[in-house]
Amino acid sequence: MRIAQVNSYFHPFMIGGAEWYIYNMSKELLRAGHEVTVFTADHYGSEKVPSEGNVDGIRVRRIPLKVDLSYRVKIWDGLSEALEGESFDIIHTYDYAQRHTLDALNAARMAGVGSALTVFDVHSSIPRDWYKRIPMNYLDGYFARRAFPLATRILVRAPDLIKGLPAIDQFQNKIRITPSGVRPESFETYDGQRFKSKYSVDGSPVILFLGRLNPLKGPQFIIEAAPLLVSEFPGITFIFVGPDQSGYRGRLEARAAELGVSSRVHFTGMISDFKEKMEAYSSCDLFCLPTSYEGTSQSIFEAMTQAKPVVATRTGGIPFQIEDGTDGYLVEYGDVKGLAEAMARTLRDPARARELGVRAKAKVADFQYPSLAAGLQTIYEEIVKTVGN
């Protein structure tokens, strides 16, 4: 099959789990003999890359943007024409609440080919200030009512997300569950000490956050919890791995200084190299993601491959990944004291932490990309057959 994947960002701009998911699934589809082309924006911030390229065998076409106001408010310049100018068996787009998805789904309809739409997040379920929530809820419903009827199949990351999707009731027969996953090599042994040496981390225990530095991902709550933990674990170190968004790293650094914990906090910036990223997971004693919302988290799954206990929020699809008290702990979003206590409880009992990590590693073994890609290929075949009939 000839497959088009459409997403706001792609290599070298590996902003979050969506980009890594598309990269890893595309690699597996290539190994299965399919042709894959990723359509994506040609820049991130001020950094721009050539319009055509190849990433590990994945053909990439990068499209300029007419409008680029924010992560979600973008209008692509010529995406529809680029898709319609080639011949694909499947057009697969990501994130229903963006203009590029409507363009991609309409291009599939015009070409008479099948389409898949992956839902990473239910945007109206993400906690926001009221003045942001009102327009977001409107846009969420606006795009959902237009995108879901066009998609041949709607792919959702976890069963927990379905009930929150706007305008979904009449499209239940289109829904398939396609979780995030991990590469088989994630289970190998990685040198966490090398990572700590590179970034001059000399404290213990180590708490790791890996994700976008954005308030919706919750890194601020780790900073707020830090003084509560430093008193009990004087050598504790907090490592934040991920790209800065809208200067939020500066605000986190300022708050750490106000709280007197700057010496315990390290920011590495974005890490795209797979081996170094896995070394980061290996270096930590506990992985923490106090996010406001997550479809499913690839970083949680990757931490689990290194047998790390996880503390995360009880939101979105995370309860599909982590069973509270069995392979990690879940807390309520924004509960700083609860977050600090869950981390402290894990660190106080190393034997219990190892037990949580072992169970986590056993669970995530079922979510490796080769088997997930085989399932996606089956869905693609179903889509082709549906459209052909």
Please tell me if the domain spanning 2-181+368-388 has the same topology as the one spanning 184-364.
Answer: yes
Token pair belonging to 72: 């979600």
Per-residue pLDDT of 329-348, as tens digits, reads: 999 999 999 999 999 999 99
Is the model's pLDDT at 126 over the cut of 90? no
pTM of the model: 0.86
pLDDT at position 135: 79
Token pair belonging to 131: 């003045």
Give the H or E element holding residue 259. Answer: helix 248-259
pLDDT at position 82: 96
pLDDT at position 121: 78
Rounded to whole angstroms, the Cα distance separating 264 from 236 reads 7
Q: How many CB atoms lie within 10 A of CB 73?
A: 11
Mean pLDDT of all residues belonging to the chain: 93
Per-residue pLDDT of 220-278, as tens digits, reads: 999 999 999 999 999 999 999 999 988 999 999 999 999 999 999 999 999 989 999 99
pLDDT at position 363: 96
Is the model's pLDDT at 349 over the cut of 90? yes
Between the alpha carbon of residue 2 and those of residues 38, 83, 223, 314, the distances in Å are: 11, 12, 46, 38
What are the φ/ψ torsions at residue 99 (nearest 5 degrees)? -60, -35
Averaged over 116-129, what is the pLDDT? 81
Is the model's pLDDT at 139 over the cut of 90? no
Class for the domain spanning 2-181+368-388: alpha beta
- 64 pLDDT tier (thresholds 50, 70, 90): very high
Rounded to whole angstroms, the Cα distance separating 210 from 182 reads 15
The pairing of beta strand 90-94 with beta strand 114-119:
parallel
Q: How far apart are the first and last CA of the chain?
A: 17
Averaged over 73-78, what is the pLDDT? 90
Non-local CB neighbours of 328 within 8 Å, separated by 6+ positions: 309, 310, 311, 312, 322, 356, 360
Integer-rounded Cα Rg, in Å, for the chain is 21
Most confident listed range (41-50, 168-177, 355-364): 355-364
Domain boundaries, the chain: 2-181+368-388, 184-364
How many Cα atoms within 13 Å fall on the side-chain side of residue 228? 16
For residue 296, give the 3-state DSSP assignment. Answer: coil
pLDDT over 90 percentage in the chain: 79
Look at 38-42, 131-135, 335-339 and tell me which has the smallest mean pLDDT. Answer: 131-135
Non-local CB neighbours of 254 within 8 Å, separated by 6+ positions: none
Q: With contact defined as beta carbons under 8 Å apart, do 245 and 334 qualify?
A: no
Pick the CATH number of 184-364 from 3.30.1360.30, 3.30.1450.10, 3.40.50.2000, 3.40.630.10: 3.40.50.2000
Rounded to whole angstroms, the Cα distance separating 58 from 129 reads 39
Non-local CB neighbours of 105 within 8 Å, separated by 6+ positions: 91, 93, 115, 117, 147, 150, 151
Degrees, nearest 5: CA angle 178-182-184: 125
Between the alpha carbon of residue 7 and those of residues 3, 14, 68, 74, the distances in Å are: 13, 11, 14, 11
